[in-house]
Amino acid sequence: MSEGEKIPKIAMPGDYLCVEEEFMPANGVYVDEGKVRASVIGIPAYDYISRRVSIKPFKGLKIPRSGDIVIGVAASVKEDVVIVKVLGFDIYNTFKNPFSGLLHISQVSETRIQSIYDAIKMGDLIKAKVLNNYIPLLLTTKEPKLGVILAYCSKCGSVLIKNGDKLVCPKCNNIETRKISMDYLATAKYGRR
């Protein structure tokens, strides 16, 4: 249990617990480059006889599981992946602490897209499905109800209005593309002047 990292009394997803050579990973943990980290919120349990480490999760704590639909914000957009701050199961049912999620370009749309920047931009609110049971959550937006549910104009920052399969800025008339969810929040009849 070296690395100079402090072992938490209550572990949060991603917290360092030990190195793989010290304790084998069990329930509620994962290995990241030889370091064992917590995948759920709970209390670390070290079994010195079997040399295993696990997390005893808090009862009643809601953690996204495979198949769950979640809402998140695109915190960072790279060439082939979006890092998503998963906020909750819906906009009215948020987590006390957000989870980390990854959305790979291959999981954005059923059709092939040239650039992830055409589908999702930083700051977009997205609805996604969880594909795994550990942190970071692997996400997909391939289904019609999944994708961007709220986006902002990259020129002036106004909320974009859905107009067909495009998003239009009501202030500067900028037109942008995204992988739009059927549940996009700002829909209205919008005519250009």
Highest mean pLDDT among 63-67, 155-159, 183-187: 155-159
Classify residue 6 as exposed, middle or buried by CB count within 10 Å of its CB (0-12, 13-18, 19+).
exposed
Whether 116 and 46 share a structural domain: no
Confidence of residue 189 (pLDDT cuts 50, 70, 90): low
Whether 25 and 75 share a structural domain: no
Whether 115 and 147 share a structural domain: yes
User: For residue range 82-102, what is the model confidence (pLDDT) as tens digits?
Assistant: 999 999 998 888 888 788 999
List the domain range (segments joined by +) for residue 157. 69-176
Q: Which is more confident, 25 or 187? A: 25
Is pLDDT above 90 for 133? no
Is pLDDT above 50 for 193? no
Confidence of residue 75 (pLDDT cuts 50, 70, 90): very high
CB distance 142 to 108 below 8 Å? yes
Q: Is residue 21 part of a domain?
A: yes
Whether 40 and 79 share a structural domain: no
Strand, helix or coil for residue 98? strand
Strand, helix or coil for residue 63? coil
